[in-house]
Each structure stands twice: as structure tokens, then as C-alpha cells.
Amino acid sequence: MANMSFENHIVKQFDGELEDIRTMLMEMGGKVEQQLKDAITSVAGVDSALAERVIERESHVDEMELDIDEACMLIIARRQPAATDLRLVMMVSKAVNDLERIGDEAKKIASHAIILAEQDVPSKGYTEVRHLGKGVSNILANALDAFARFDVEAALKTLKDDHQIDLEYKTALRELVTYMMEDPRSISRVINILWVVRSLERIGDHAKNLCEQIVFVVKGQDIRHSELRG
């Protein structure tokens, strides 16, 4: 594993500031991860109270985004970071964006959960949500884990897992479409589930972005839009 260190700066405060944005990002990641789990549970368990709490907590995530962005900006203004330091700050600033979007998607899932709970007793589509949700939660957890340890191997592996998620998403879509064709009365309900699945897929993409950022920080290579994943 590459030995990424953000310490040993001649200016000690710089060490602290870099450590701070990392910690804040991890904290935000943890929060978002929890939000995602709760959102998925609220859909699968038809728990509108939980869904309400998810929507409520979304503002915390937004606040953290603002805090981290400000910290990154201050570091750039004060320290003019270069090389790994520069890449870390850039990465954190982008990752914050991804995490915030994940938070947004989790909120969307929660609001769909509330709508679904108001409708008839659920029957079909929840299996797909549960299955896909588990996969996406894993990917996000792995991405955050890889970031905590700056583990390129793990990040690359997670990237491949996301590929798997995309396949599962397509399968789920096909199944949901089948449900709608079988029973047109369920269309409006299935569409809600469709939105949830769609959100999960988006979350997977954001998690993928996180992994790409990790590779960028460690290796200094931008692997976005390249065919490295194969």
C-alpha cells in the first residue's frame, strides 16, 4: 500500500489543517453512509418516520459541505499547497461535492419512501431495492474505507464493483418495467420505486467518483474518462 503522509511539514499548522479536512470528510462520509442506510431501510421497511428523520438530517450534511469547502479554500489561500497536498485539497473539495449529492439522493429516496408508505401495501420491487441498496451501501463504505487508508488497490477494486452495480441496475429496471406491463394499476407505485433505484444508481456513480479521486491523490493520475477500469 502506498504510504501517503500529510505530516512532517515544516509549518506544523499545515499538518493540522490537512488532517482536519480529512477528518471532516470522513465524518461527513459516515453521516452520508448512515443517511443512505436509513433511506434504504425506510423504503424496504415502509417506515415513514425514519424517512422523515432522513429528510431532516439532510441539512446537517449540507452544513458540513459548507464547512469543508471553506476549510479547503483557506488552505489554498494560506498555504498554496503543491503536489500531494494540492491533490488532497482538490480531492477533498470534489469529494465533498459527491458526498453532498449522495446525501441529496438519500433524501430523494426517503421522500419516495414516504409516498410509497402512503400507498397500498407494498408487494413487488422491494427486493430489487433491498438488493441494489445493499450493493450501493457496500460500494460507498468501501470507497470511504479506501479513502481513510489511501488504498489504491481497494479503490480500483471498488471501481470494478461499481461496474457490477450498473449491471444490476439494468436488471432491476427491466424487472420493474415487466411489473408495470403485467399490472398497469401498479404503474404509479412502481415509478416511485423506479426513482429510488435510479437514485441508488446515481449514488453508485458518486461513490465511483470518490474512488477515482483516491487514485488521483495517491498516484497523481487522473483516471476519469479513461478505460483503466477494464
Partner 1 sequence: MNTSATFGVGTPSESDFRDTRDGDMSDIGLTKGHVTVGSVEIQAAKITARGVNIFYGDKQAIHDVNVDIGKNQVIAMIGPSGCGKSTFLRSLNRMNDTIDGCKIEGDIRIDGEDLYSPKLDVVELRARVGMVFQKPNPFPKSIYDNVAYGPKIHGLAETRADLDEMVEKSLRRAGLWDEVKDRLFQAGTGLSGGQQQRLCIARAIAVSPEVILMDEPCSALDPIATARIEELIEELSHNFTIAIVTHNMQQAARVSQRTAYFHLGRLIEVNPTEQVFTNPEHSLTESYITGRFG
Which residues of this protein are in contact with partner 1, per CB under 8 A?
2-3, 8-11, 14, 79-87, 218-221
Shortest distance (Å) from residue 200 CB to partner 1: 32
DSSP 186: G
C-alpha cell at 177: 418495467
Shortest distance (Å) from residue 228 CB to partner 1: 11
CA gap 22, 53 in Å, rounded: 27
Q: Is the Cβ of residue 164 or residue 226 nearer to partner 1 in the bound state?
A: 226
Phi then psi for residue 39, to 5 deg, are -65, -45
Q: Is the Cβ of residue 44 or residue 218 nearer to partner 1 in the bound state?
A: 218
Shortest distance (Å) from residue 7 CB to partner 1: 8
DSSP 220: -
Q: Which amino acid is at 164?
A: Q
DSSP state string for 93-133? HHHHHHHHHHHHHHHHHHHHHHHHHHSSPP-SSHHHHHHHH
CA gap 112, 90 in Å, rounded: 34
Note whether 99 and 206 are within 8 A (CB).
yes
Shortest distance (Å) from residue 145 CB to partner 1: 20
Q: Is the Cβ of residue 59 or residue 221 nearer to partner 1 in the bound state?
A: 221
CA distance readout (Å), 135 to 34, 65, 132: 14, 25, 5
Q: Is the Cβ of residue 80 or residue 118 nearer to partner 1 in the bound state?
A: 80
CA gap 207, 219 in Å, rounded: 19
Shortest distance (Å) from residue 209 CB to partner 1: 19
Q: Is the Cβ of residue 153 or residue 182 nearer to partner 1 in the bound state?
A: 153
Shortest distance (Å) from residue 14 CB to partner 1: 7
